[in-house]
Structure 1
Amino acid sequence: MNDYLVYLVEDEENLSEVLKAYLEKEGWKIKVFNDGDQAKESIKDKPHLWILDIMLPGTDGYQLLKAIKEESDTPVIFISARDQDLDRVLGLEMGSDDYLAKPFLPQELIIRTKKLLNRVYGVTSQELKKIELNRYSIDPMARIVTDDEVTNDEAIIDLTTKEMDLILLLTADVGKAFSREKIIEHVWGDNYFGSERAVDDVVRRVRKKMPRIHLETLYGYGYRILSS
């Protein structure tokens, strides 16, 4: 999938135009906002990715990130030229998925963007195949899980991005054991520095939302999904 919609929020117009040109070369659709207020009005569009500068006129990057995460679980890359360590920590705590400190090369943003889009939405043919498991239908392309035993509007199970990423990882190879470290690498990315307990919390939520899934705990190691 190449036709991703990416919203870039950057008040330095020269920089935003350069980044836009680089991003468009990858085949992505890019919409640029030069202030936070304009961007906030477009949160309802739910693009595939937001790239946010922290220092913005009007609504700043922190406020915008909070508003985005209240509306959806769309991935966000934070960029900033301020106190790098503080902004990185605060941004990640508030739900950003990656952080890039200014100044940076446009190619570095491209690499980070590709990696995040691929992790969240998947790109391989195997990942795009629909999966039927324990009367659940899992559509990796649409990122939708449906309960086949429910026939009304509640058939679609409301999963967060990390819950969906976990399901896609474990069902891509049913029966294979994944360590907590591997799950963190896939679901949270290389920049995650919190506790492995976060994996257990996501697993707990998935089990509650998908009770027929045989999500087995391998004590002291990690988790796997069994077919029956």
Structure 2
Amino acid sequence: MYTIYLVEDEVSLNQLICSYLQREGWNVVSFTDGEEAKSAIAQEPHLWILDIMLPGMDGYQLIREIRKGNESIPVIFISARDSDLDRINGLELGSDDYLAKPFQTRELIIRVRKLMERVYGKVLQTGYSAPHLAQVDYPPYTIDRQARIVRENSGLEVELTSKEFDLLQYFVSHAGQVMQREHILNEVWGRDYFGTDRVVDDLIWRLRKKMPELRLETLYSLGYRLVKR
């Protein structure tokens, strides 16, 4: 059974989200302030759902603490702050998704399910499965699909979030092909995703920043293409 840690200070919303998550068969542990949640980081749940505005320690501070120990645990931000800057800040700090309040609880459930399936499922819910090669070389990087790890030739590990790795794997699987933004969104985020295609640009920006030797081209009015090596 998967375990989800929910951090939401609004008690009624916390209880509502918990009840919906539990109906899906997930084990849910809830917190109402950031400091309380920080003390549980070492327990490493399968997924964090974080509000940004929290007493004691806000969601941005909390995700920094989470990422110090584990770069790959999926994190979803929920917040009443729906500005582009807040969303980009969340992505830069390593969140995998961002959902603005008010939202339909069912939408959150769908996003949680899709994210869990991408990270922990054997076959990606988005409609494509990982190619048979467990390891792919894209100099100067080696991509281990099974362990979901990227290393440089020096042996240094490139720390990617689960969503960043999903996007990288998708481009590697379609190297040389022009991929439209809408197609990337459907395949990597899933057809039930409710947000805008801006998340594609934001995540690609993060991937380029972490992997500067990745030859990921922007083709004006067409989309993106990973150059073959």
Q: Is TM > 0.5 for Structure 1 vs Structure 2?
A: yes
TMscore range, shorter length: 0.5 to 0.7
Structure 2 CA distance for aligned equivalents of residues 70 and 192 of structure 1: 29
TM-score normalised over the length of structure 1: 0.67
Could you say what secondary structure the match of 1:85 adopts?
coil
For 2:207, the aligned partner's letter is V
Determine which structure has more spread, i.e. the larger CA radius of gyration.
1
Unaligned runs of 5+ in 2: none
In structure 1, distance between residues paired with 2:105 and 2:45: 21
> 1:172–1:216: structure 2 CA closer, same or farther, 3 Å change rule?
same
Whole-angstrom distance in 2 between the partners of 1:99 and 1:63: 18
Give the paired residue count. 210
Which residue number in structure 1 is paired with residue 66 of structure 2? 68
Query: For the Cα contact (< 8 Å) 2:8–2:14, is it kept in 1?
Result: yes
Query: 1:170 touches 1:225 (CA, 8 Å); kept in 2?
Result: no
1:124 positional shift: 1.6
Question: In the alignment, does 2:31 pair up with 1:33?
Answer: yes
Alpha-carbon distance in 2 for matches of 1:114, 1:91:
21
Aligned to 2:144: 138
2:178 aligned with 1:177, yes or no? Answer: yes
Residue 171 (structure 2) pairs with residue 166 (structure 1): no
Structure 2 matches for 1:44-83, cutoff 5 A?
44-69=42-67, 71-73=69-71, 74-80=73-79, 82=80
Give the aligned CA root-mean-square deviation in angstroms: 3.9
TM-score, normalization: structure 2?
0.67
Following TM superposition, by how much is the alpha carbon of 1:122 offset from its aligned partner in structure 2, in angstroms? 5.6
Q: Deviations over 1:68-96 (max 9, x none)?
A: 3455444432334x5x435x742542334
Q: 1:223 aligns with which of 197, 200, 225?
A: 225
* TM-fit CA distance, 1:110: 0.5
CA distance in 2, matches of 1:122, 1:179: 25
**What is the CA deviation profile of residues 143-186 of structure 1, one whole-angstrom value per residue up to 9, with x for unaligned ones?**
22467x88xxx4x7333125422321123345543245544663
1:193 to 2:195 alignment: no
C-alpha separation in 2, matches of 1:167 and 1:101: 29
Q: Is the 8 A contact 1:180 1:199 kept in 2?
A: no
Give distance in 2, aligned partners of 1:5 and 1:77: 14
Post-superposition offset of 1:31: 1.8
